[in-house]
């Protein structure tokens, strides 16, 4: 599966022969993946391994498919085999085929899927880092604003004294 925010490109490949059995492009909904699998012959649908490159869907798509009792793998993009021609001309259709071939031949490394607790910790750490980055940017904007308007604080910024000094500044009415 080549997965994006709004669409999935799906490719079914016979592992034994390497022959493409079925392909489609659909909206990004797990129901469409299930429908695609159900349209495969009974013999083919019994041995389905689903896979997609690590990216925007993170673990959510994987976890949903595992809940539905499908074997699903998240492939590390840097470990997948890809020929030079594919590097020059990339599209979703070809990416789905490449992912299917990598799954069938085992020429990839799977991404370790975190359990729920570890995933929650990872998300919490991401939020903290984002908030710290935004706080730093906001402080830089305030200091630049103060300097542009001719005010200068000679001591260490962002202390209680500095915050008190900021609150006492007499800026023009519009500012």
Cα–Cα distance, 104 to 129 (Å, whole number): 38
pTM for the model: 0.71
Greatest alpha-carbon pair distance for the chain in Å reads: 78
Cα–Cα distance, 96 to 79 (Å, whole number): 16
pLDDT digits (tens, 9 = 90+) for 65-107: 999 999 999 999 989 987 666 566 678 889 999 999 999 988 9
pLDDT digits (tens, 9 = 90+) for 161-170: 999 999 999 8
Q: What tokens were used for 54?
A: 């690590």
């Amino acid at each position: 599966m080549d997965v994006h925010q709004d669409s999935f490109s799906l490719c079914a490949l016979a592992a034994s022969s390497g022959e493409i059995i079925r392909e489609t492009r659909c909206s990004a909904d797990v129901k469409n993946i299930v429908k695609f699998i159900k349209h495969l012959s009974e013999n083919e649908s019994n041995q389905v391994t689903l896979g997609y490159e690590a990216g925007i869907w993170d673990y959510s798509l994987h976890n949903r498919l595992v809940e539905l009792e499908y074997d699903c793998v998240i492939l590390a993009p840097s470990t997948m085999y890809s020929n030079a021609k594919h590097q020059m001309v990339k599209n979703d259709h070809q990416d789905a085929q490449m992912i299917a071939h990598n799954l069938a031949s085992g020429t990839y490394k799977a991404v370790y899927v975190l359990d729920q607790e570890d995933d929650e910790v990872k998300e919490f750490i991401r939020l903290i880092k984002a908030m710290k980055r935004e706080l730093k940017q906001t402080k830089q904007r305030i200091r630049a604003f103060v300097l542009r308007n001719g005010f200068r604080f000679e001591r260490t910024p962002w202390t209680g004294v500095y915050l008190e000094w900021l609150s006492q500044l007499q800026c023009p009415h519009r500012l």
